[in-house]
Structure 1
């Protein structure tokens, strides 16, 4: 490598791996570019099988000491990491905006504060993690959460640091050690996290960061005999490859995968609220797994809903995400832009109508798009686009609404907009989804289980569910008698 550092908006970022408490270079690099303008950000260490194996070895070596660290001390270190995130919040925000193109105002006000909260929440939850002892025929049952071992965490590019720390924080709190593999399209804040964790006093080898392409190092990480847990957020095809790799050793998996979530609008809904929630699905240029990209609107109000939607969408400002006035930034990468446009153009060729957008803009920007006249079995309705593209279908009654809503292979989330509490209860009970919002969207609490049904995932994250995954649960049964007198 010509230089092990790059400077982003005045912030110095080390572009090498972080393994065993040290910076480690690779023979090769890959180029990281900004979606804002296509400019080269830096040359990033391109991990090989050797670096991946070294990271697992470092995590294995560090595991006994970290697992034996008292809960209170682990919690203290996690709070210190949160302190470091808050201290460097502005730096993290500007680096991540440059790297993945999401709005700077969102990073400052919501995303990076949530990163710190992830560490604080799981630190505090660790200290209250408990199961009341219970008796069986006079025998005492005691449930405990034992650290499982080294974990491989593979994270996506759409909210790089927040989604990484959803996994890193509970894994560290549980007493596990971590090999973090960030997405190659947005690797920089993972490197900064390594610095912050080291400054907070996290022992060497407890957190390792390996950069590179999943096709080159993924199998080493996911099939390694010393890895005890694998958590992945991303696409279904990649998850299938990871699952196949992990299967030989029966390594437990947590998979948060794609979505094709419905947003149901009933005739008794507050239409202004419904339109606000629908337009909100363009957040992060539609690169949100939870986004309600399938608008299902009761036919008696569909025309009025569409009119209001078009009017509100026309007021969105798309442009440089560093500008406070911008509502929608760019797509992450030229390949993603091609994928989005391919979906839209095939839909238009098949008879869909673009009520809003339907085309590229300069650079890596795709116009917010709403397509109507789409069939339930069409590609644009069935497959995840992961861009600022929504479809609109109508329904006649609750039964049809539920049938359409459940009519894909996914089941990540759903949103219901109605003015009738009884209807909300009926409909939500019938929806296949890991999370359902009623008259709101994206209200997330780390106490709640998060994950998907069907091909949207395996397992749940959040609260005790995270510890259930990152730990080996043990039940110790003690007889009421039989102790020897050692007096």
Structure 2
């Protein structure tokens, strides 16, 4: 076994970058620490501008041949990558759980199968991607999608491989080459993806994986003049820095950022359903950008809703995410835990009441928390926490519910619980959000547009929207005249 290989729960993972079809080590490393117990999993190659330049050069060199590869062949390779993922679901699951602390059972049953589906969906969508030709004064218009070029994809730590492949799959399907930069807190499954892609026959340089800190390698990637697309999922402050870097080259951006999404519960809702939706917001220890962290409940049912919520939330099991019965695992990093607790303690000092939780537990675990008596303009209501912390406010009228729901700088998602279809139609039409769920939560289809409004993001991806972003969309207009009729 190489000195650059670590073993994670029996799975070998290479800690070097993957550039131009080869493993490349850096002079320096950074520690990768498991949130489960705080142990160091391994030392990871720490990239700088040098590795960034090498990865972009490799992607640029590989681009012409990959862009010229037929749609059918690209789709075949993407399906082969999906096959490789499915063969290694157990390995990918245990490595990612060790790396980011999310539930092992969720990885096995949902997340890693979704990784494979990401590749299959975009491979199949590529083969049916078309726009019907149309006529203009006898001239024919033909729309096509031309590969844009090397694409930098910067991904978060809360669902590392699933969110990475949500970007990688359409970028590759579109004919682009890719430089993937995973979050430094969770780099391991991206390294395994490089192995799987190579085994599936993806040509060298088409997918490159580089690791390191944003300030050291991320800036070098996003400011590179040969990069043609940048897709980022993460925080608003980081997105602003990326946009500044990209501005000099006018590099198109897709940004999926934070959220402070509401759950609106009306008096006519099925309260048991509403409570189930509410408790679901503790998924992944609250580290879900789409989570409805602000409960807005009609006054007449607020007391009963709260009682049922507290009872159901009390049935959750928090602990080691590798346990089959565990519902909530640890938070990702000590810095994130400090941030979460800081929000809660400042809110309580300002008058908020912790109905449940409100405190740390041993290690990197934070007790599931619900805060009431919070002001609309308070930090706890306005800012993304990214932990198992929810707030509850009440409203008297439908108009007030909509006003409170829209009264943040974010607009990623919203969830609505009501028994009246007419109300659902009225309210959803007024909500500022990229996705709205009515009497359900987290139902996602890859053919649907995904993205946020306001500070929750720029652009939409999914289905044809992904190809619109990763390609240069071209319209070719042909005159019926001028042919020389030479046959």
TM-score range, shorter chain: over 0.9
1:422 maps to 422
2:460 maps to 460
1:485 maps to 485
Alignment of 1:69-108 (within 5 A): 69-108=69-108
2:27 maps to 27
2:54 maps to 54
- Per-residue CA shift, 1:438-473, capped at 9, x if unaligned? 000000000100000000000011000000000000
2:273 maps to 273
Q: How many residues align?
A: 486
1:253 maps to 253
Per-residue deviation at 1:113? 0.1
Q: Does 1:128 align with 2:123?
A: no
Per-residue deviation at 1:136? 0.2
Question: What secondary structure, in the 3-state scheme, does the structure 1 residue paired with 2:99 have?
Answer: helix
- Per-residue CA shift, 1:206-254, capped at 9, x if unaligned? 0000000001111110010100000000000000000001001110000
2:340 maps to 340
- Per-residue CA shift, 1:99-131, capped at 9, x if unaligned? 000000000000000000000000000000000
1:387 maps to 387
Alignment of 1:58-69 (within 5 A): 58-69=58-69
- Per-residue CA shift, 1:373-424, capped at 9, x if unaligned? 0000000000000000000000001000000000000000000000000000
Question: What secondary structure, in the 3-state scheme, does the structure 2 residue paired with 1:241 have?
Answer: helix
Q: How many angstroms apart in 2 are the aligned matches of 1:218 and 1:16?
A: 16
Question: What secondary structure, in the 3-state scheme, does the structure 2 residue paired with 1:12 have?
Answer: strand
Per-residue deviation at 1:486? 2.4
Per-residue deviation at 1:485? 2.8
Q: How many angstroms apart in 1 are the aligned matches of 2:158 and 2:422?
A: 36
Q: How many angstroms apart in 2 are the aligned matches of 1:276 and 1:413?
A: 18
Question: What secondary structure, in the 3-state scheme, does the structure 2 residue paired with 1:102 have?
Answer: coil
Per-residue deviation at 1:481? 1.0
Scaled by the length of structure 1, the TM-score of the pair is: 0.99
Per-residue deviation at 1:48? 1.0
Which of structure 1's runs of 4+ aligned residues deviate more than 3 A? none
1:299 maps to 299
Question: What secondary structure, in the 3-state scheme, does the structure 2 residue paired with 1:118 have?
Answer: helix
Q: How many angstroms apart in 2 are the aligned matches of 1:481 and 1:320?
A: 72
Q: Does 1:181 align with 2:181?
A: yes
2:191 maps to 191
1:12 maps to 12
Q: How many angstroms apart in 1 are the aligned matches of 2:9 and 2:225?
A: 41
- Per-residue CA shift, 1:301-334, capped at 9, x if unaligned? 0000000001011111000000000000000000
2:365 maps to 365
Which structure 1 residue ranges, 5 or more long, are not aligned? none
Q: How many angstroms apart in 1 are the aligned matches of 2:172 and 2:179?
A: 11
Q: How many angstroms apart in 1 are the aligned matches of 2:461 and 2:308?
A: 36
Q: Does 1:146 align with 2:146?
A: yes
Q: How many angstroms apart in 1 are the aligned matches of 2:427 and 2:13?
A: 49
- Per-residue CA shift, 1:132-189, capped at 9, x if unaligned? 0000000000000000000000000000000000000000000000000000000000
